[in-house]
Amino acid sequence: MNPVAKRTVSALVCAAAVVAGLFFLPAGVVTAAAVALAVLAHTEMVALVAKRCEIMAVPSVIVSAAFLSVCAAAGTNSLPAVVSLFAIGVFAIAYKGENAIRAFAGTALSFMAVPFMLSYFVMYPGEFGVKWLFYIIAITKVSDMGGFAFGVAFGRHKMCPSVSPNKSWEGMAGSLLASSLISCAFIPMTHFTVLKAVAFGLVAATVGTIGDLVESRVKRDAGVKDSSSFLPSGMGGLLDTFDSLVYVPAVLWHFI
C-alpha cells in the first residue's frame, strides 16, 4: 500500500472511531476524551514553542489540564481563563531560567493559541449536546477533505507558499464548497435555513484554513514537518489533526 493510500485508510479508521465514540459513549466520557486530546495537543504546541524560545513547559501543561477540566465541568471559560493566566504569571515570577520575559510570553502564547481556543471544543457536549460537536467536526474536516481534493486536482495558484506550499486558492474553493454542502446536509438536525447553513459552512472553511496556516507557520518556524509522530501512518500529531479545529468551535459557538 502506497503512503497516500495508507494515510487515507488510517484517517478513515480514525474518523470512524470518532463517530462511534460520539454516538455510543456517554456525553461525560466524550467530554473527558475531548479534554485529554486538547491537553495532548497543547503539549505538542509547547514542544514546538520550546524549539524557538524558553517556555515553562510543565507549569503550562498543568495549567492547561486544570483549565480545560474546569471549563468542561462549569461550561464557561471566562473566569477560568483569567485565573489560568494569573497562575502563569505567578509561575513566571518564580521562574529560574535566564529569560523570564520569553518564558512568560511563550507560555502565555501557547496557552491562548491552543487550550483557550479548544476550551470551546470541550464545552460543546455539555452546553449544546454531542450532536452539535459532531456537526462542527463534520463541516470542518469535510472542508479539509474538499480542500485537499481540489488542491490536488486543480491547484495552480498558491495561497501562502512561504507558509504552506501545498495550499492553493483552488483548494480553498474546494473547502468552501465542501463545507457548505455538508452543512446543508445537516439542516434536518440544525433546523437552519439554507442561507444560514451555507454561511456556517463558509465561516468554518475560512476559519479552519486560518487555523491550518497558523499551525503551519509555527511548525515552519520550529523547523519541523509535523507537530509529533503520535498518530499512525505518517498522519503526524494531534495538533496536525486539530489545527483546523482549533478556532472553528470558538467562532461558531457564538453564532449557535
Q: Give pTM, 2 decimals.
A: 0.86
Among the ranges given (6-15, 128-137, 140-149, 189-198), the one the predictor scored with the smallest mean pLDDT:
6-15
Specify whether the CB–CB gap between 43 and 52 falls below 8 A.
Answer: no
Specify whether the CB–CB gap between 64 and 111 falls below 8 A.
Answer: yes
Please state the domain extents for the chain: 3-255
Average confidence (pLDDT) over 1-21? 61
Pick the more confident residue, 228 or 29: 29
Give the tens place of pLDDT for each residue, 147-169: 988 988 888 899 988 888 889 99
Pick the more confident residue, 60 or 162: 60
Give the tens place of pLDDT for each residue, 208-248: 999 999 998 988 888 887 776 666 555 677 888 878 889 99
* C-alpha–C-alpha distance, residues 32 and 165, integer Å: 36
Write the DSSP string, the chain: --HHHHHHHHHHHHHHHHHHHHHHS-HHHHHHHHHHHHHHHHHHHHHHHHTTS---HHHHHHHHHHHHHHHHHHS--HHHHHHHHHHHHHHHHT--SS-HHHHHHHHHHHHIIIIIHHHHHHHHHHHT-HHHHHHHHHHHHHHHHHHHHHHHHH--SEEETTTEEEEEHHHHHHHHHHHHHHHHHTHHHH---HHHHHHHHHHHHHHHHHHHHHHHHHHHHHT-SSS-S-SSTT---HHHHHGGGTTHHHHHHHH-
* pLDDT for position 118: 94
* C-alpha–C-alpha distance, residues 153 and 166, integer Å: 12
- Cβ neighbors of 187 (< 8 A, separation 6 or more) are 194, 197
* C-alpha–C-alpha distance, residues 241 and 130, integer Å: 19
* C-alpha–C-alpha distance, residues 207 and 202, integer Å: 9
Res 71 pLDDT > 90: yes
Q: What cell was used for 186? A: 445537516
Confidence bin at 91 (pLDDT 50/70/90) = very high
Q: What cell was used for 152? A: 490536488
* C-alpha–C-alpha distance, residues 104 and 8, integer Å: 39
Helices 78-93 and 100-111, interaxial angle, to 10°?
A: 160
* C-alpha–C-alpha distance, residues 23 and 189, integer Å: 14
Res 171 pLDDT > 90: yes
